[in-house]
Amino acid sequence: MHILSFLDLKDIINEVFESAAQLKAEARQGEFKELLKGRTLAMIFEKASTRTRVSFEVAMTQLGGHALYLSPKDMQLGRGETIADTARTLSRYVDAIMIRAYRHEDVVELARHASVPVINGLTDLEHPCQAASDFFTMREIKGTLNGVKLAYVGDGNNVCHSLLLGSALLGVNFVCATPRGYEPEPGIVQQAISLAQESGAKIEILNDPAEAVRGADFIYTDVWVSMGQENEAEQRMRAFRGYQVNSELLKHAPEAKVMHCLPAKRGYEITNEVIDGEASIVWEQAENRLHVQKAILVKLMG
């Protein structure tokens, strides 16, 4: 089983949530069971990382296994070896592969030729482990996900895509507000709308942040300029100027909790006052990456 999209979690997500809750409770008590003793996770990083690398590496350590950090510049992959040959070789050595890449197609190609589970640690299209952790965090706070309103303000990027699909699967009402031209991929939106017919979730794509957050239980934002988009920075800063999550925007949803997948560009998509304020649950989100990914690793490799 591979986790390339949030959709791949469809049949196991509730099991992952229950397992993550148990693993988190045990970790808080200083109790760590070696559920993956003798197992090895290969971690391929094309992009820089703080949370993804540390959370997966710590997860494997706490589960009694081993995580192996691999950079393309240190691998033959960086010197022209094919993705297929890399997948076939690693599959003979390790028990699973986590990859953080630019192109989603490369991760799909890796999974096609791997005989061990492949986990998408972020691509230009999706960030499923982040979204799974986010929904776990919302569930912790609200006790349920059904009927919860999640408002996403900012760029219709990979995180937005996974949140869209996850909301549609889990019965979360999702409203996205982006500047014109920066909406999520139409194909992802259509998938979400189709899935929402079964779960009862409402999916809306708007351009007005104030309208989007009205009555929201959670307000979510992300950076305006993702890795690989640096040449668009000036244009994006102008386009997103009215999409900052600040105290003025929070007046439209005074009970809402604020989320950010990090790293945050403080003073741009979110203000210090908000990210460090009482409404922020950003650090709970960050911690839950560890517990949810442990649950995913146990499910795939245990």
| 222 belongs to the catalytic site | yes
Residue 158 near residue 226, CB atoms below 8 Å = yes
Backbone angles phi, psi at 198, to 5 degrees: -85, -40
Options 127, 161, 236, 291, the catalytic residue: 127
Long-range CB pairs of 182-186 (<8 Å, 24+ gap) are: 182/155, 182/156, 182/236, 182/239, 182/240, 183/156, 184/156, 184/157, 184/160, 185/125, 185/156, 185/161
Options 191, 261, 285, 291, the catalytic residue: 261
Options 222, 260, 285, 291, the catalytic residue: 222
| 285 belongs to the catalytic site | no
| 100 belongs to the catalytic site | yes
Q: Sort 53 into a burial class: Cβ within 10 Å, 0-12 / 13-18 / 19+.
A: middle
Options 39, 139, 289, 291, the catalytic residue: 289
Task: Dig out the tokens for 102 from the structure.
Answer: 């630019």
Using DSSP's 3-state secondary structure scheme, residue 210 falls into helix
Residue 258 near residue 222, CB atoms below 8 Å = no
| 289 belongs to the catalytic site | yes
Query: Which residues have CB under 8 Å from 281's CB, separation 6+?
Result: 137, 141, 257, 258, 259
| 191 belongs to the catalytic site | no
- Give the max Cα distance, the chain: 55
Options 62, 104, 130, 191, the catalytic residue: 130
Distance of CA 242 to the CA centre of its chain: 24
Options 2, 39, 51, 100, the catalytic residue: 100
- Catalytic center residues: 100, 127, 130, 222, 261, 289
